Structure 1
Amino acid sequence: MANNKKIILGLLAFIIVAGAANQSQAQETKAKQAATSQVPIVIEANDLSFSDETGDIQATGNVVITNAGQRMEAAQINGNTKLSKVWVKDKAVLSQQGTTITGTNTIYNYKLKTGSMEMAKGQVESKYISGNNISMFPDKLTINNGTATTCPAKVPDYHISADKIEIWPGDKMIAYNAKFWIGNMVIFTLPKYQQSLKPNEGSGVFPRLGYDSDDGAFIKQRLEYPLGNTVSAYANLDYYSRANFKPNYGLIHREKDYTFGIAQGHFRDVDSNWIKKEPEFKFSYNPHRLGNLPISYTFTAAYGKWSDSAKTSWHQDYSLYLKHDPIKIGSSANLNLGTGIQHVRESYDDSTQNIWKFDATMDKKWSERLSTWVGYHYTQNNDTLFEYDKTDLSRELKSGFTYKIDKMNAIGISHSYDLDNHKVADVDYSWYRNLHCWEAKITYRAERDQLRFDINTSKW
């Protein structure tokens, strides 16, 4: 077994520890007092040398460097403790907080969390990236002459290429002079493109195709163009063979704590109800903790002109919702609780409604293949002026399951029961098919005799 050496660059001392195969305990060889408040940096290698005077480090053989959630692996590195820098000429792997990048000619500063890497590729959360050169900063990555995709295949079915791609993990991605590829064909280009990476906010960059028995075959495309660091213009270009062209567009201003937007155009809910906003202003306060309690809350306020086929109204909507952190029940079940109030005003009939809500859902993962859920949803005073986004049932018992047949196929059933009228409200049967890097989903809503099929780049 090869000798192994370790150096710990700590809060109070630089310590080099050497251990041989026939030694039962590590032997401390050197220590020095250091005036620094850094989290300890640990360097492990088969062979390691350290200059107390200059701070130079040379390490070869299974080199691993760890520091505050950061990890670098390489066959050989050079570095300097006084500069907090390391250099790797050949292959190096850098991992930190959902990001893993592999490349050559790496320079990295552990103190500043900045660096660069050439001929790099890797993964940033759900994005697979590559580039001639990647620059790393504490809050973002800059990829020069690079690509990005959510397709993990060696040769992706679809990807974006751009002169420069900036990624703020968990926030957004901006691509400059972007080309959008399906296979080996460029389908369109944009001088600048932005995509949100926030949960439940991002939208597929590539067209979404499908069929809906109410509105016919459809193709959907979202485009977003940044006007500044926090402001973007967007357009959702949706076309239905029966409902025709139904676009919507607007401006959105995203901050850490809130989002403010202006939207205009046609909008459709999951029950095929349409509304036209002319326009609507909406403020959303992002989830925040309620003191030290295991509860978070959100607040939204919207005001705008709504129209459907029969009426037009100036619509006001204010919602406050509180959600408890998931409550663990056993090793594989969670109980989710939430409650809130929605205040709606309409100019059409001078109506005012206070809508109270309560939700309780339990989900359980029985195995890697089978997951089930059951939930109770209560809505008081749900008889609103518009059908769009209306809660259909006052008291609903909802249950269902998903089962993975294999890595390519899954099925699911969702069952909705009307507790007030003691009847089945909806039964949805779904089949999911993994098409390499695309997902196909077919859903049949039995109680409404509705069929929906769509294909997109989302993975199940």
Structure 2
Amino acid sequence: MIRRASRRAGVTVVALSLMLCAIPPIPSAGIETTNPNSPEATHALAMLDQSCGTAPQDVQAAEVAQASASPAASASPGASESPVASGSPAAAASASPAATASPSPSPTPIVGAPETAPNGPQILVPPPLPTPRAPTPPPLPSASPSPSGSPAAQVIQQVSAPPSSTPVPAAYPSAGPIVSPTPSASLKPEPGETLGPNDYAILGDHIVGTNEKGQTSDLDGHVTILYQQGILGGDHAHYDGTRYIDVTGSTFVKNAGGDTVLYADAVRFDSLDQHATLINGRGESTQGVERGKLHFKGATMVTSRDGKTHIEHANLTTCENPRGGYHVESKTLDVYPGDKAVAKSAVLFLGALAIFYLPVVVISLRQDQQGSRRNPGFVPIVGYSQVEGFWIKARIGFSPSDYYYGYYRVEEYTRIGLGLGYVATIRRKDGRRQTDINFFRQNNRLQASQNTNLSLADQESFSRATRGQFNFNYQGNYGPNISLPAQYSLNASVDHGDTRGDRQNYTFQRTATGGESSTNNYGFTDHLQISQSLQNDVAFSYTHSKSAFLNSPTSLSDLLHLQTLTHLVGRRYDYSLTFDRYDSATPSSLQKEPELVIRPLSNLFPKETIVPVQVQYTLGFYNDPQGGTFRPGSTTPTGIETSRGEARVTLGPGLAHVLGSDFNGTLTVQQDYYGTGDAKAQIAQNATLTTPLFNHLVNTITYSNSHVNGPFSEPFRSLDVLSSGVKQASDVLRIFNRDTYSLSLTGTTFFNRMAQAVGYQLTARPSPRSTVLLGGSFNPGPGNGFGFTNLQVATPFGYKSDLQFATDIDWKAHGRLENKNIYYRHIVGDCYEIRLSYNQSIKQVFATVTLLAFPSESANFGIGQTASLSSIIPGNFSSAGFTGGP
């Protein structure tokens, strides 16, 4: 054996490569029990990621290196030579039938030690290095004479295992071990070599047995196996001489990322394909979990070299106490690191009560989740409404890959019937195309029909300069007791651009409602960047419409629209020239032939710094088919074509601070002249004065006034139409004390000698977790007074529970409560949230369970909305995404 080692002096074992990453060897007496989450284990993972070590990949034999170390004070003399006692874990491992020469296709790991708490896996890890990443390791020093007693840390390694059929990234090693005798002192590795892609390493305290190829051997004390998946540790390891390594005693498997740890009674490691089989395994992971951990266990677990974990008869939960929370029991569970967890034939339990069965449950473990389609949740919601009856709505997720994922919708109503849906996202691997599908079909017993909703969206990049988009929507389900003709729309567009900024866009749109009406629109736009200061835009569209309502004859109409916009930025002025033209059998739109807008770029008064001034001039020739006079005995106008000039000056906003108050004012003056000899003028004023008082009051006065002069809608019917002169003022008094309470009183007058309503809004926080909101108005005058007052209350209701109540108080009906909404939320074991809702108006009750571990399924209560219009709960809770259509 020594001669063979001498002939192969250039061969470096993985153990030596790990020793080269350490500074001095660690005596066995100084080794302490470590935890898989300890800094030492983290450092070992970092070493594994760096592939630190020396081992040529073409070596056909295995060697063992013993590092030189100081004497181990804790070892007893002769311990390395004494036989293994019968009944010990090592003896049980040696006597196992697994230690045969022929490999077994599906071996059973050996349980050779009693179960211990997973708080101290036995692992030997070299100390951290101050050297940078991927250093060149120095040569290993010659082994010093060992004192009497057990030797220092031993390592076992083999690099001659047959290559696995599974492709392995080069950054992670894998190989099978052979226990070898203590190496010769003359064995020295060649520095600068790196760990091969099919290599792995084993560390421990001392070896028992014959370390020859095809012979069994045992490794005791702080056993650690570094392989592609991460770290496998325990107290004792037995090698059958051919393929399998059985690890017992405080066993654990920690992945390379350090966020997943598995524990088991025993682990069998397959040296050929680097599979680790765990008996009575249990694990925990923080991948993709917002709060807490993902806990899973099963009768057997198998982890492969790519990190996938397959579990038989699995139990899955995110609760620290599954009996007090929820858990999912499934026939099988597959955990893909950083991707998803897939459970098949799953049953959902709340405590000890089975409430729901799903054939497949997919839980996304990704942090960059893309909405509810990526993590739809697997807990159904149940409820009741007066129209639909009792119902249950569930989503069954699927995610075969990062490029195809979604969920199935299953909804059952006692009065309406069964509804089935399919929601999916399909993407190309190169990112050039993404298709979103949303389909739902409802069997409606009330209407004796089947209604369908369908939505398709497709985006594609044909090249770096050309993109396309396609959208299709079909709606035949408008909700219960609503019968309308089916409506669909189709939109398609292609966009092309270049680096200069030139761009062309082609569009097609079609909308149709049953067989009653349809519209087709064809469009083209072109943007031409002539220079940095000059650009031109052209838009062209053609619309064809068809309608046939009831017994009326079919009506056809065509509309041609052309619009151009030329924009020039000069040194002192900004110019915009617009040409806008319509062509149809019955013209009705105002046409610009053309219109020029001029805006000075600098202030009209350059030396004026108190009030800014903006000016705009407009000149143009216009054609209004709806303008002019009416023919005798006809309601059709004659139309008008004339020129128009306009000057608009805006002064402000002017800001001033006077006697502790803030003033803001704006004045706009507009003058128009027309070729018909008509003239119009408008003056608009707006001012706001805000005054704080005594640090607890803020008073805000707002005043607006507009003066008009000229004909109301002459000569154009759709341009420069004057409004009646309006003068209005309002006063808002706000009384507050930090966030304890805030009361706002609002009074408005239109200067018409009529009393106006006074609005009030009160928000109070009786405690840090409670809120009260009151809002309404008071109308002065006999028979008026208070009308409706909206009341909203949010308060704690027990331990980790919240209650919200929203209603309208009808003071005319002696304070009767209308439109009542009640919401209740309770958190169970910091794991999931139970929510109940009641709506009096539509006679609806529903309940749902939200998992706190996954952010896409979480929703919080809100307050401040009007209960008569919408609930105080956000829409993603009140609807939970389960509507009648996509």
| TM-score normalised over the length of structure 2 | 0.31
SS in 2 for 1:148: strand
Q: Does the 8 A contact of 2:200 with 2:226 survive in 1?
A: yes
More strand by share: 1
* Unmatched runs of 5 consecutive residues or more in structure 2: 1-26, 32-43, 45-51, 57-62, 74-126, 128-139, 144-182, 443-450, 479-483, 496-504, 512-518, 525-767, 770-798, 803-823, 835-859, 881-886
Matched, 1:95 2:268: no
Amino acid at match of 1:444: I
Alpha-carbon distance in structure 2 between the residues aligned to 1:4 and 1:86: 26
C-alpha displacement at 1:301, in angstroms? 5.4
Matched, 1:204 2:377: yes
> Looking at CA atoms only, which structure, 1 or 2, has the larger radius of gyration?
2
Task: Pick the aligned partner of 2:873 from 446, 452, 455.
Answer: 452
Equivalent residue for 2:438? 263
* Unmatched runs of 5 consecutive residues or more in structure 1: 268-275, 291-297, 321-341, 355-403, 411-430
SS in 1 for 2:375: coil
- Identical-pair percentage: 12
Compared CA separation, residues 181 and 70, structure 1 to 2 (3 A): same
Q: Does the 8 A contact of 1:235 with 1:247 survive in 2?
A: no
Alpha-carbon distance in structure 1 between the residues aligned to 2:64 and 2:494: 55
Matched, 1:143 2:299: no
CA root-mean-square deviation: 5.6
Task: Pick the aligned partner of 1:193 from 360, 363, 380.
Answer: 360
Aligned pairs for 1:222-261 (under 5 A) are 222-224=395-397, 234-237=407-410, 249-250=421-422, 252=424, 257=429
Alpha-carbon distance in structure 1 between the residues aligned to 2:476 and 2:236: 66
Q: Deviations over 1:368-395 (max 9, x none)?
A: xxxxxxxxxxxxxxxxxxxxxxxxxxxx
User: Comparing 71-80 with 232-241, which one deviates more in the overlay?
Assistant: 232-241
Alpha-carbon distance in structure 1 between the residues aligned to 2:209 and 2:188: 12
Amino acid at match of 1:58: D
Aligned pairs for 1:123-138 (under 5 A) are 123-124=284-285, 125=287, 126=289, 127-137=294-304, 138=306
Equivalent residue for 1:278? 453
Amino acid at match of 2:55: L
Task: Pick the aligned partner of 1:312 from 474, 477, 487.
Answer: 487
C-alpha displacement at 1:193, in angstroms? 0.8
Equivalent residue for 1:181? 349
Matched, 1:435 2:435: no
Equivalent residue for 1:73? 233
C-alpha displacement at 1:80, in angstroms? 7.3
Equivalent residue for 1:61? 221
Matched, 1:3 2:67: no
C-alpha displacement at 1:141, in angstroms? 2.1
Task: Pick the aligned partner of 2:279 from 91, 100, 118.
Answer: 118
Q: Does the 8 A contact of 2:346 with 2:361 survive in 1?
A: no
SS in 2 for 1:3: helix
C-alpha displacement at 1:130, in angstroms? 0.8
Alpha-carbon distance in structure 2 between the residues aligned to 1:250 and 1:142: 28
C-alpha displacement at 1:70, in angstroms? 0.3
User: Comparing 431-440 with 65-74, which one deviates more in the overlay?
Assistant: 431-440
Task: Pick the aligned partner of 2:334 from 139, 143, 166.
Answer: 166
Compared CA separation, residues 346 and 165, structure 1 to 2 (3 A): same
Compared CA separation, residues 81 and 116, structure 1 to 2 (3 A): same
Alpha-carbon distance in structure 2 between the residues aligned to 1:317 and 1:435: 49
SS in 1 for 2:310: strand
More helix by share: 2
Q: Deviations over 1:200-234 (max 9, x none)?
A: 301211124799xxx9x996421247999998894
Q: Does the 8 A contact of 1:3 with 1:19 survive in 2?
A: no
Equivalent residue for 1:424? none
How many matched pairs?
343
C-alpha displacement at 1:181, in angstroms? 1.5
Q: Deviations over 1:266-286 (max 9, x none)?
A: 89xxxxxxxx97323345789
Q: Does the 8 A contact of 1:178 with 1:193 survive in 2?
A: yes
Q: Deviations over 1:389-418 (max 9, x none)?
A: xxxxxxxxxxxxxxx99x9799xxxxxxxx
Alpha-carbon distance in structure 2 between the residues aligned to 1:154 and 1:3: 41
Equivalent residue for 1:378? none
Aligned pairs for 1:312-391 (under 5 A) are 312-316=487-491, 346-348=509-511, 350=520
Alpha-carbon distance in structure 2 between the residues aligned to 1:318 and 1:22: 78
Equivalent residue for 1:425? none
Compared CA separation, residues 146 and 343, structure 1 to 2 (3 A): farther
Alpha-carbon distance in structure 1 between the residues aligned to 2:240 and 2:202: 12
Alpha-carbon distance in structure 1 between the residues aligned to 2:488 and 2:248: 66
Q: Does the 8 A contact of 2:472 with 2:488 survive in 1?
A: no
Compared CA separation, residues 239 and 20, structure 1 to 2 (3 A): farther
Alpha-carbon distance in structure 1 between the residues aligned to 2:141 and 2:800: 54
Q: Does the 8 A contact of 1:100 with 1:122 survive in 2?
A: yes
Equivalent residue for 2:581? none
SS in 2 for 1:205: coil
Equivalent residue for 2:539? none
SS in 2 for 1:108: strand
Equivalent residue for 2:197? 38
Alpha-carbon distance in structure 1 between the residues aligned to 2:242 and 2:194: 11
Task: Pick the aligned partner of 2:270 from 97, 109, 115.
Answer: 109
Equivalent residue for 2:711? none
Compared CA separation, residues 451 and 119, structure 1 to 2 (3 A): same
Alpha-carbon distance in structure 2 between the residues aligned to 1:195 and 1:57: 43
Alpha-carbon distance in structure 2 between the residues aligned to 1:10 and 1:51: 25
